[in-house]
Structures are given as C-alpha cells and as structure tokens.
Structure 1
C-alpha cells in the first residue's frame, strides 16, 4: 500500500543524479512541511491551492468553512531539518519508504488520510518540536521525573496521557482533519561508512575542535529525546578521540587527556543506549568508565540499570550498593531501582513456576 502512495507522489522539484543506495544505518536529512486539510470535497483543486509552496503560504487560508487548512509543522520555518536513520524503526513508515525512492534535492508531496497517520503523526511532531527547543533537565532529575510520570500514568487515568504538550496538537487530535498533506525535500544522504572515512581524513586540529561540537550537539539532541541521533554524535566523537590517542604514546600527557575526555561521552552514550533498549551496549560503555574511574557514581548507576535489564541480578545489586555507599543522597533512587528489579524477578519466578506446575504459584 505504501508503495502505491510513494509512486503516485506529486513531484514539485525532481532532484539530481540517481536514487542513492539506502543501506541500513544511512543517515538522511530532509525538510518537511505538514498541512492539515479539513475539506474532503474538491481535493484536486484544493491540493493545487495548497501546493503553491512555501512562499505563498497565505493563498490557502481564504477558501474555508469552519476549519481552515492549517500548517502544522514547517521545518524551514523552524530552521532545523529532520534526521532519519534508515532501518531504525522510524515512527512514520510512509516517510521512510518515500525517502528511499527520492533523489537528493527532490521536493515532492503526498496526501495521506488522517485515519492512516493520526495516531502516529502527533508523536512525531512532538518529538521534532522538542528537538527544536529542548528543555535541559538534570540527569538524575529525569530519572525521578520518569518515575513520577510512570506512576501518574498508572493512577492518573487517561487524562494526563492524552496531552501532547502542545495546544495545537491536542486540538488537531480533538478535531481531526480529513487528511494531512506532507511535503518533503531531501537534503543529504550519508552512507554508514562515510563517518569513519570522514574521521580518518580529518586533520588533528580539526579533530580536536570537532569533539566538543559533537558532544554539545549530542546533548541537544538527547534533551530533545532524539536518542538515536544523539548516540550517533557521541559515537563519532569517541571515534575521533580513539584516532587522536593512536597518534600519541600510551600514558603520555596528551594520551591521558584524550582518554579523560572519553568519560562524559561514554556516560552520555550509555544513558542514550539505556533509553533505546540497547542494554548490552550500555553495559559495555558504562563499564568502560568504571574501569577508568571505579568511584564514578553515574557510571555505576547506569551499569546497574543495564545489568538489571539483562537479568544480571548479582552485578546489578553490587553496582547499586556501590552507588548508595558513595552518594547516600541517591539512596531513594537506588531503593526504587532495587524494588523494580525485585518485582521483575518475582514476576519471572512466578511465570516459571506456573510453567512448571501448570497452576499459579502464590507466595505471601
């Protein structure tokens, strides 16, 4: 079904060259514009009016009844293109399939009925908007707020879950349009191997400058909840530091300095990986920090969470105990993590004994 939509898209600008090879892990940047269209009748004529493009935005406000067609998002206005990694479960499969058929520079348009994308688009829009103006919360704070949010979801009923945090998105969901009209413009396509090649070709001064820039960009993406994109920046910065270290003598001043700079990047990467559900990677990266700094509380806490996620009960308990001993103020947080681990173990035990006995095993 998606393929027929993609093939029948309206071409506004054809793009250049061949359609690139979109291997898994390819990084794509593109501009997008989304217009909510409320009138089911007279689609063609209306489409004509709406497509007169970015410069003539005002045309399509004249011809309406109760609900005007509304521009929901326009990345050119926000000044930040969207990023997507091919094969990484993008929220809106239509866009990924569409992009895989595009040439660089192409601008095209597809109308998609609300009933096919109404459950997904508001989420996508929300995460894009957060990415544009992220709120920088402290990390431990996000742990706490994550818990509060989870518990309020259980007790607070549906009310709190319905809001997307943006009035216009809530309004759109409450008063759904007939369809959404998407316009995409493909800007860049980077194959996965390009990153390593880029790093390899960089001069030393350029490398040194690039590390803090990548870290800052990664943090901005992270606080906009774009974890996949943030992790990409952290990995690239770490790859650069590895390259720089190879040019120095191990344990020399410069070498040690580069090694020290890996720590915050590894910590941030581990946190992103926890949130992406990549627990074994998080375990490895948090563990690397503990190897360098055995008393690093953040590293121990993250390794503990990763251990708990992959059922390493002993190791998780050991990490959490170390956290509580090093920083008693984190006691409540550790308690909560241990309670969560207990609950998970109990649930698994109950399930196993149920399988064994064929009937529910109850213990007080």
Structure 2
C-alpha cells in the first residue's frame, strides 16, 4: 500500500505493510470465524456486497453513496486507489486520520500482505465511486496504530520507517513503545473497534499499470535486486551518485521486505543480510562521494554495531571521519581495517597521509580565524 507522492520508498512493516515510501514490523494473523458481517444500504435493500462480506467476523457495512457499473474484479495484483477516514467509536466519532484532508489518495495492491488485511476485504466489496462506512471490531483494528504512524509520516514528507540494515521490527512490534503520536499510543495500548469510511476511486488490473518494487511479491522482489544492484553500479561508475543511491536503496528495501519473514540469524535470513550489507556499503560509498560525511558515519556505525567484522564499514567510516577532522576516530578505524585485513596497508597509509594533510589545513584555518578575533 502506498500514498501517492513523488517521494516514495518501498517498504514493508514487519512482515510488512507494502507501503511505497514504506517499515519493519510483523504480520498480524487474525483467526477467521463463521460469523457473518452485516451489510446494509440506507434504503434497506440487500446487496451483492452483503454476500461478499459473509464469513468475516466483526464487520458491518453501510453504503453512504452508491457506486457505478458492475463490481470490479479484485484479483491478486489488482491496484486499488481510494480515500479513507478513520474514526473512533465514541459519541463524537473522533476522526483519527483522513486522507482527503491530506489531499493524497491511498493505493493498495490486492494480495500483497498489507498489514490492515481487512481493508482488502472491505474494498473488494465496493464499486467504483462508492462511499461506504465499515464498523470493524478489534480483531481487525489491532495493527491500525502502526499502519497509521507510517501513513502520517509519509503525509509529513518523512520516511515511514528506519530502513537501516540493523532494523529488526519484529521484536519491536510486540513490545510497547511510543509511536510518536499520542492518540496512536493510546490506541495501541488499548485496542478498540473503529469506523472506516472508504471511497473507491479507481481499480486497475495487473496488466493496466507499471508495477513498482513496492507492488511486487517476494519472488519478484528478489529477482529485482540484482537488476537494481547492477543499475546502481553502472550509475556509480558514470559519476551519477545520487541516482545510484536510489537504486541501492530500492534494492535494500526489496530485501528487507522479504527478510522480515525469515527467522533472524538462520541461513535464509543471513543470506539476505549479506546481500543487504553489500548494497548498504555501496550506498555509503555514494554518500561519501556526495560529501554526506555525517550520514556515512551514521550508516557505517549501524553496520559495525551489528556486524563488527566488516572491514569496508570501518574503512568508509574512517574516510568520513577524515573529512570532518575527527582525527582520533579516523585513526582508530584505520587501525581496525589493518587488524581485519593486513592487505589494506597501502590504502591505509594513503588515507593517513590525507588525514595529516587535512589536520594541517584545519590548524591553518583555525589560526586565521582566531587571529581576526584578537
């Protein structure tokens, strides 16, 4: 699922919410019961949508505005564009989120394991142009605070999740922590039924739109990784570093979407981690060329904390420390490089010479600066 914005990062929450922006957390599994949902029209007539919602416990539907034409086909891979409004079940019907106020419709791909699983069911009961209100019990709303956090961050122009290589959302998801929004924190601590008012805007079959990485299934994501990796490498060699970072980042997110379904530190997870590690180091190398030194230090430190034996992470961090005059930190990193790979002696000697030159330049700059102060 995604918000329609030019700035998008494909991500999944946990076992993942397919968000284009997109966070790692875990997939909520709700047991299915045989209690029927109720679907009513304001004119009281029974509808085909009523039958489509049978078998879903804890859902009640009221059509506020009828749609047009026949019920669309909602097969796996179908992209659905819609507006939503979320309200509490209190006397005031307090509005939590409203995509119309933000001015950005939502997009969801059927079958892509969107964390608010019930939304696929609700939307699949609707016609284009229809506006319907759904009451959903807590068996369907438990994941809403996590989903809403990501949607709000996208609307604010922020990345919905921390996609760094060290992120492991599964552990975080089941331990209470602040989401950064007081109303969502309360809802996370005490789940409750919610009203969702949905307006179905557009339905596109898989052959009718170009699928971006966020809309791919796991098999397609893994196939996309080497392609994106190769494109990133080519762009790097051409000196188009910013474009290369986008390719590397997209590949990392594809991997992380798949990896969160694997058990941490077991063979399949480690294989994916190795792939993500290589891409993250390439990403950092681009940042170094773009003179984003503090960001390089941040990302490589994340890698080192998780994988303390990765020589290239120390090497790139050392180079970044050199550029921001962190003399002692740079020396420590280069010492660690030699400890991990004595064959890097020539490269380290060269970097230490650059460090000495940079520190001399800094001293001269400081002299001139302080000379004018007295």
TM-score, structure 2 normalization: 0.41
Larger fraction in helix: 1
